[in-house]
Chain A
Amino acid sequence: MTETRLDPSELVACPNCDTLHHMQDVPEGARARCMRCNEILMAPKGGAMTRIVVLAVTALILMIAVVFFPFLDLSASGLEQHSSVLDAIMAFSDGMLLPLTFAVAAFVVVLPAVRLMAIIYAIGPLIFDRPARPHAARAFRLAQTLRPWSMAEIFIVGVAVALVKIAGMATVSLGPAFWALVALVLVTTIKDTFMCKLTIWKTLETQRRS
């Protein structure tokens, strides 16, 4: 690593601690870690791109079910109340709390959906060996930025807590949208384990040049 002339294109720097590494081919299933801070630099997996796109499409379809199907049904002494995810979003819609409606809508539905679409747009063409679409890099960067702000899995835990809180006063039955959301969270999590940022960036770069 201490040759007089370093060729930047043959190097990779750890995004965490700036340490330089020589780019090497990492076998599928193996992990390359930073020598200094132990951050995972590369973790390529076989057929990862195809799986990511397929899982992202699945998650996007599930998202449609989440929004439009009934989510929770509540019944207590003859009274009944149906609630969809849209209702939960609209819970804050009167008065001072209106901005929170937009925030919940964004965290639970809009941002996860945009993230999935960005991933499909950026990686989709690569699995067919097609050149990357225009702004594919921007789309994939957006998907990375949105990752902490997609909170569907946190919403699920919120539902669980809410169910315990009202379990004493009413009977709650779970609708298809609830199970769709559970499936969506699982699919998204599996998809993210296949995501090796560096491999995808390198592929995007070569597909743009050709």
Chain B
Amino acid sequence: MQVDDLENAGNPTPLLTARQAGLVACTGCGRVHEQGVERCERCGAHLSSRDTTSLQRVWAWWFAGLIIYFPANLYPMLITNTLGTEYKNTILGGVIELIDHHSYFVAGVVFFASIMIPVGKFIAIAYLAYSVRHRATMSDHGRQVLYEVVEFIGRWSMIDVFVVAILSSLVQFNFVASIHPGIAAISFALSVAFTMLSAQSFDPRMIWDAEEAATE
């Protein structure tokens, strides 16, 4: 809060939001309209002063992503056949195998993308959605950065799905060695997509509304 006050100190007029001014802003292109306009005159996007269904959609996608995240980790991601022997690897199993092969850097990348990012994203989105309705311990700027990080980094979890696709197409030597995708690949891809949709449903203006309500 202190930082905010310092920044505003040199600014004689308080910041005004479109909603306070009785206007509606387009989140797509920034164009400002009189209240009651349905579609943006510049870009054609649907206008709403605040997305009232935002939190509902955030939680719906969040739960869908979480439910499907369990089979994604419990079932095999990759099925390897070497001379008649079948190995099944889960996501975590794949990371452990990389460590066994001393590929620590790549193991780190896969661990970060397939385990750290999804878990971190569930926590971050839940915190952001929760903090809109309750007292937040993190500053507005902090939560804004958190939201941007979630939006930016979430899609990178898809790495493991692509790895499975490439390996399965490349390693096809009949019974000598072959790699097939496991059922977890589809659950994991869906989980990533659902959490991306969850993050996209979040209306970041809600982060700043709380501050507005507090100063009034």
Interface, chain A (partner B; CB < 8 A): 1-2, 6, 8-9, 11-20, 35-39, 41, 72, 74, 76, 79, 81, 83, 87-92, 96-97, 99-100, 103-104, 107-108, 137-138, 140-141, 144, 148-149, 151, 154-155, 157-162, 164-166, 168-170, 172, 197-198, 201-202, 204-205
Contact = CB atoms under 8 A, between A and B. Distances in A.
Contacts of A160: 106
Interface of B: 7, 11, 13-19, 21, 23, 25-34, 41-45, 98, 101, 103, 106, 109-110, 113, 140-141, 144, 151, 154-156, 158-173, 176-177, 181, 183, 185-186, 189, 193, 196, 200, 204-205, 207-209
A197 B29 contact: yes
Given A96-B183, A141-B43, A72 B208 contact: no
Contacts of A20: 15-18, 21, 23, 25, 32
Contacts of A154: 155-156, 158-159, 162
B99 to A, nearest CB: 12
B43 A137 contact: yes
Given A37-B144, A81-B172, 16 more contacts: A1-B13, A8-B33, A13-B18, A13-B30, A35-B11, A36-B15, A83-B169, A87-B169, A88-B170, A99-B186, A141-B44, A151-B158, A162-B167, A165-B167, A166-B170, A205-B41
Contact of B17 (A2, A19, A144, A205): A19
A9 B37 CA distance: 14
A183 B38 CA distance: 42
A148 to B, nearest CB: 6
Contacts of B171: 74, 81, 166, 170
Contacts of B16: 1-2, 19-20
A148 B200 contact: yes
A192 to B, nearest CB: 13
B207 A17 contact: yes
Nearest to B177: A169
30 contacts: A13-B30, A15-B25, A15-B28, A16-B204, A16-B205, A17-B17, A17-B207, A18-B205, A18-B209, A76-B173, A88-B169, A91-B165, A91-B169, A92-B165, A100-B165, A141-B28, A141-B44, A148-B151, A154-B156, A157-B109, A158-B162, A159-B162, A160-B106, A161-B106, A162-B163, A162-B167, A164-B98, A197-B30, A202-B42, A205-B41
